């Protein structure tokens, strides 16, 4: 039985007849949401692994959903096969905006917004060393449940 509220795959719409209108640009520009959208607007296709390195998030799918649900973007996706370092094949989702949606966004002023997002990210990156040092201090102060033993190889103790 199919879930009543299950999202329909993009492949159910006729090829070339998707929604190509631009959504809303987020007001806050120093966020992961803004960074993901800026990358998509510049024509990048994003997978979860690429988002780890480019946007510093392990939650690419959550931000894609957020851009669709809150900001009205129609983000295309498909699953692709990827080889892993340990010899397996796995399936990952890749996300992108159509050329028509990107063009509509640029007509509406996306270039200046993207530049602002990049400026905000550059400014935020200047505090990366301080943030890492603060995170290390916070992790040292955390109390680990003794029932976990050496579950984390001493990394948390």
Nearest Cα to 39, choosing from 94, 79, 92, 97?
97
Is 85 a domain residue? yes
**Angstrom distance (rounded) from CA 94 to CA 91:** 10
Residue 22 structural domain: 18-148
Is 141 a domain residue? yes
Q: What is the 3-state secondary structure (H, E, C) of 127-151?
A: CHHHHHHHHHHHHHHCCCCHHHCCC
Is 72 a domain residue? yes
Q: pLDDT in tens for each of the 157 residues of the chain?
A: 443 433 344 443 444 545 567 899 999 999 999 999 999 999 999 999 888 888 888 899 999 999 999 999 999 999 999 999 999 999 999 999 999 999 999 999 999 999 999 999 888 888 888 988 988 888 888 877 767 666 556 554 4
Q: How many separate domains does the chain show? A: 1
């Amino acid at each position: 039985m199919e879930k009543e509220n299950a999202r329909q795959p993009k492949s159910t719409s006729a090829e070339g007849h998707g929604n190509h209108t631009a959504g809303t640009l987020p007001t806050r520009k120093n966020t992961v949401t803004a960074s993901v959208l800026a990358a998509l607007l510049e024509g990048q296709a994003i997978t979860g692994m690429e988002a780890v390195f480019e946007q510093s998030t392990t939650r690419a799918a959550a931000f894609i959903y957020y851009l669709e649900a809150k900001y009205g973007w129609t983000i295309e996706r498909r699953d692709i096969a990827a080889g892993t370092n340990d010899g397996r094949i796995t399936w990952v989702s890749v996300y992108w905006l159509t050329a028509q949606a990107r063009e509509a966004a640029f007509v509406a002023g996306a270039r200046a917004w993207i530049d602002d997002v990049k400026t905000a990210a550059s400014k935020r990156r200047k505090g990366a060393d301080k943030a890492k040092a603060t995170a290390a201090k916070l992790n040292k102060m955390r109390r680990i449940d003794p029932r976990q033993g050496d579950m984390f190889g001493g990394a948390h103790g």
